Structure 1
Amino acid sequence: MSLCATVPDWQSPDLEVFSFFLKFCWILRMPMPTLQTGLPPGPKGSLIGGNLAQVGARRVDFFLEVARTYGPIASFRIGRWRLFLVSDPELIQQVLVTDARSYIKHFGARTFKPVLGNGLVTSEGDFWLAQRRLLQPAFLKAKVVSYAPIMAELTEAMLAKWPEGQSVDVAFEFSALTSAIALKTLFGLDDHGDRVQIDQSLRLTFELLTRRLDALFQLPLWLPTPANIRLNRAIANVNAVIDSFIAQKKAEPPGNDLLSTMIAAQHEDGGRMSARQLRDEAMTLYLAGHETTALTLTWSWYLLSQNPDAEAKLCEEWKRVLGGRAARAEDLGSLPYTSAVINEAMRLYPPVYVIGREAAADLELGGYRVKKGYTVLMSQWVNHRDPKYFPEPERFLPERWLGGLAGRLPKFAYYPFGGGQRLCIGVHFALMEAAIVLATVGQKFRFTVDPGAIIDIMPQITLPPKYGMPTTLMRR
């Protein structure tokens, strides 16, 4: 068939109707219709909200379904926001590494600025780079190793208080432990009652901010709506506790901890961090320093409780290498199955399950045009369940990591700590802490999820269990 044969008759009724419609649009100064959008394929949504209802209901399942249905680059809309969901490792590397300077943090990350402020997670450009360089020395491997005795000591102190045969929420217990570890190692402060208050306020803050993110219209925070009043009160509680940490540290002689370093740090112009910036960085580091590791430990023990064979292999490794004592930093190279369990837990339940970047200029990605203002999402939940790289992706199989899998995977097939220049600053800290706590706890206690307990996820900025993790403690 010739190309000319596909051209419609200019006198056809359809063309006359379309021509009238174009003239009508011009008269009313309406946008002219486009015949091709140039967008990747994706699910249809409603006229006003787009795919907001599907995302809000169960976003991780929505991301997974979209990727499996529409391929490595898909598109959907949330209200006025146009989003691309990218699941091909090479395309993810293009966004996070190759074109990183052409992207900024997306609208979702900005939603959490009322609590995170302009800290390391949310700041941009040269300011971010200066702050990163200031904080980096505290997270170098040599420095992190010095934190190991504190991690083991505080873990054993927690175990001494655990009631055998009783039910506890291990999600709360691990959060309390990693919070105490973060305060001691990063801030040089002992745990105290304010820590419980800040954790409760943080949990409420993230819940309310997530609801705000899922809303079609976000009312200004200064409007005294019931939700805004609760949110502002929770943020004020968080700020008060963080301010108390800083005030306590300023009243003490300078130490070798990160908070002392931040207080004393000078920029090239001789100026110091403002009180607001000090608060923002302290808040970010406190949250990043304990929340993600607590979740890794919680989901690790849940998965082990459902897989007794894996737990038995883990206990055999601990018995052979540790013999009942607390783990030390130098032991970790001799605990490959422990590392495999942690890797597999973060594969199935990545503490951070999605990363977003907003295009700061028109860009190309996978043959499509990413317009300035569009958001590109990359979901660890999706990539970590790709059967191409992880056969039987829904199964908990720590053994998959024992044959050098990490070295064979594409860079962004598995990325629980993000990647590129904004790779999580605390990678070594988190992995060492998770291994030390897991081994120290596991040699003394085993966990049984309580009958009738509902175990589900609650996607916020992280991925906590929706109803906690009620388990019965049994001494080995």
Structure 2
Amino acid sequence: MGPMQQPPRLPGGSFAAWSHDRLAVARRGAEECGDIWQLEPGVYVAASAGPCEDVLRRARDFPKASAPLFPPLKPSSTAPTSEERAHAHAARMRGLRSQAVAARIGEIAPGAARFADQWPTDQDVEVLPLVRHALAEIGLRYLFSEDAPALLPFAARLFLAREVLASPSRWVWPRWVPTPARRYRTRQQVAFTDALRPVIRRRRSPGPLGDDVLGQMLQPSPHYGLLPEEAALDTLPGITVATFEAPSRAAGWILLHLARYPQAADRVAAEAALLPADPAATTSEHLESLRYTQALVREVLRLHPPSWLLTRQARHRTQVAGYTIDAGSTVLVCPYTAHRDAREHPEPDRFRPERWLDEADSPATTGAFLSFGTGPHGCEGAALATAMLTLLTAQTARRHQLSEPPGPEPSHQVTTFVGLATAGLRLRATLRENAVPYPLG
């Protein structure tokens, strides 16, 4: 293999084949071509952990696509500068880092318990809308505390705008074309911003800023000073939707595995039985005690990473895994195949949460885990998402036994266009024996 050699081309690989079954083509490319392969000229797939991590960590060589989910509304003299956006990111992270999430577990747990207690029993239910609403309530309360209920309807419409824009389309219009979907996004972004602006101004009037993420953003920084209002408004639509969009996809897979692996669900329920009777009394120590539950969540995310494919662009000609990548090429980073590499995870297709536990009878492996990305653009909400999913899993298993609907029809369809999801997932919840509802007030 010479230093200027390009990655191998997948025989029969094309965008047509890729569009028909992305997961199958991704797996075939990894199996037949190895660590990195070429789908079509100028389009490469990083298929194993080494190249995936290399590309994600080299953000200068492989920048993230400059197409934010919610771009600035319009150029103006008050539009945030790049320095102000960096300030906003740093301010936002003060409320999203692991220590901040750990301090607020008691605010996350009640929403997860409420979801479990309100699940209709003994009937087939479409799960994802219920999950999305519950996680949106939890996520917005984490971001905005007592202001969350008023902002929730606007956040729901922001999510809908995201779904409309992400729907498969026959035509890819230039970014400057005001398509109906883009106009709808703009309207919802304006509505969310208009609802949030008075919240920011009220908090900045004499009185407490709050200890939620918004309050952290409004705290003056010793280095940057006060974050301009427009910089705060610019960054919040995207993070608001992100708090529940990918976690909802992950929760669908987790609940499906609770239904398909009842012994694992029983083990989760046994852990959850030790949680406080009042979910608001849940602490980070209680969360840490859910060791098997955390392992189950991690294992499901390994097998079904919600963001299973990440797009990067090569800024200049460079090398990855000994192959040459031309400038301007697209590199598709594939955590899905990286997680199913037997060199990283023995029996990679087997659902085995124990692989993440350090137990004498179950040797743990700490292979690659890229469900939250890595490097400069790794998921900033990873700690929050993990806490939300762990508590949702524990409290659902504590309350219910889940099952798939009987009959020949599948319980869901796998979709891959936006992320890896269980579209239309239907499950049935049966109340566990001796399950007692949480006192939710």
TM-score using structure 2 length: 0.82
Give the counterpart of 1:73 among 27, 36, 39: 36
Paired with 1:313 and 1:475, the residues of 2 have a C-alpha distance of: 16
Does the CA contact (< 8 Å) of 1:74 and 1:85 recur in 2? yes
Partner of 1:313: helix, strand, or coil?
helix
Q: Does 1:142 align with 2:95?
A: no
Paired with 1:461 and 1:279, the residues of 2 have a C-alpha distance of: 25
Does the CA contact (< 8 Å) of 2:254 and 2:297 recur in 1? yes
Q: Does 1:52 align with 2:5?
A: no
Q: Does 1:354 align with 2:354?
A: no
> Which deviations, in whole Å up to 9, do the C-alpha atoms of 1:132-157 show, x marking residues without a partner?
32222112333212221111222333
Partner of 1:251: helix, strand, or coil?
helix
What is the identity, as a one-letter code, of the residue corresponding to 1:66?
A: G
Where in structure 2 are the equivalents of 1:351-430 lying within 5 Å? 351-403=306-358, 408-410=365-367, 413-430=368-385
Give the counterpart of 2:192 among 232, 235, 241: 241
Where in structure 2 are the equivalents of 1:93-104 lying within 5 Å? 93-97=53-57, 99-104=58-63
Give the counterpart of 1:438 among 382, 393, 396: 393
What is the identity, as a one-letter code, of the residue corresponding to 1:42?
A: R
Cα RMSD (Å) of the superposition? Answer: 3.3
> Which deviations, in whole Å up to 9, do the C-alpha atoms of 1:374-424 show, x marking residues without a partner?
1222111111111232233222211222237998535xx221111123222
Does the CA contact (< 8 Å) of 1:325 and 1:440 recur in 2? no
Where in structure 2 are the equivalents of 1:39-438 lying within 5 Å? 39-43=6-10, 51-77=14-40, 82-97=42-57, 99-106=58-65, 110-111=66-67, 113=68, 115=70, 129-192=86-149, 195-196=152-153, 198-199=155-156, 201-203=158-160, 205-212=162-169, 215=170, 218-220=172-174, 223=177, 228-252=179-203, 253=207, 254-263=209-218, 272-273=227-228, 275=230, 277-319=231-273, 321-322=274-275, 326=279, 327-403=282-358, 408-410=365-367, 413-438=368-393
Paired with 1:167 and 1:194, the residues of 2 have a C-alpha distance of: 30
Paired with 1:396 and 1:175, the residues of 2 have a C-alpha distance of: 25
Does the CA contact (< 8 Å) of 2:355 and 2:365 recur in 1? no
Does the CA contact (< 8 Å) of 1:262 and 1:273 recur in 2? no
What is the identity, as a one-letter code, of the residue corresponding to 1:322?
A: L
Give the counterpart of 2:413 among 437, 441, 456: 456
Which runs of no fewer than 5 residues in structure 2 stay unpaired?
Answer: 74-79, 433-441
> Which deviations, in whole Å up to 9, do the C-alpha atoms of 1:87-112 show, x marking residues without a partner?
23233333233x33222113xxx45x
Partner of 1:418: helix, strand, or coil?
coil
What is the identity, as a one-letter code, of the residue corresponding to 2:23?
A: V
Paired with 1:61 and 1:280, the residues of 2 have a C-alpha distance of: 38
What is the identity, as a one-letter code, of the residue corresponding to 2:10?
A: P
Partner of 1:236: helix, strand, or coil?
helix
Partner of 2:10: helix, strand, or coil?
coil
Paired with 1:267 and 1:408, the residues of 2 have a C-alpha distance of: 42
Does the CA contact (< 8 Å) of 1:318 and 1:324 recur in 2? no
Alpha-carbon distance, 1:268 to partner? 5.6
What is the identity, as a one-letter code, of the residue corresponding to 1:244?
A: A
**Which structure: larger Rg?**
1
> Which deviations, in whole Å up to 9, do the C-alpha atoms of 1:298-347 show, x marking residues without a partner?
2111011011121122223333x337664532112222211111011101
Does the CA contact (< 8 Å) of 2:42 and 2:326 recur in 1? no
> Which deviations, in whole Å up to 9, do the C-alpha atoms of 1:4-54 show, x marking residues without a partner?
xxxxxxxxxxxxxxxxxxxxxxxxxxxxxxxxx942112356xxxx82222
Paired with 2:357 and 2:342, the residues of 1 have a C-alpha distance of: 18
Alpha-carbon distance, 1:234 to partner? 4.2
Alpha-carbon distance, 1:70 to partner? 0.9
Paired with 2:334 and 2:303, the residues of 1 have a C-alpha distance of: 12
> Which deviations, in whole Å up to 9, do the C-alpha atoms of 1:46-86 show, x marking residues without a partner?
xxxx8222222232322222111111111122xxx712212
Paired with 1:41 and 1:96, the residues of 2 have a C-alpha distance of: 21
Paired with 2:418 and 2:248, the residues of 1 have a C-alpha distance of: 14
TM-score using structure 1 length: 0.77
Partner of 2:413: helix, strand, or coil?
coil
Does the CA contact (< 8 Å) of 1:180 and 1:190 recur in 2? no
Partner of 1:465: helix, strand, or coil?
strand
Change (3 A) 1:236 1:60: farther
Alpha-carbon distance, 1:163 to partner? 2.9
Higher relative contact order (CA 8 A, sep 6+): 2
Alpha-carbon distance, 1:445 to partner? 2.1
Paired with 1:357 and 1:267, the residues of 2 have a C-alpha distance of: 34
Paired with 1:142 and 1:38, the residues of 2 have a C-alpha distance of: 45
Partner of 1:285: helix, strand, or coil?
helix
Does the CA contact (< 8 Å) of 1:329 and 1:432 recur in 2? no
Which runs of no fewer than 5 residues in structure 1 stay unpaired?
Answer: 1-36
Change (3 A) 1:43 1:317: same
> Which deviations, in whole Å up to 9, do the C-alpha atoms of 1:142-195 show, x marking residues without a partner?
321222111122233344433332333221222111111111111224544763
Change (3 A) 1:105 1:441: same
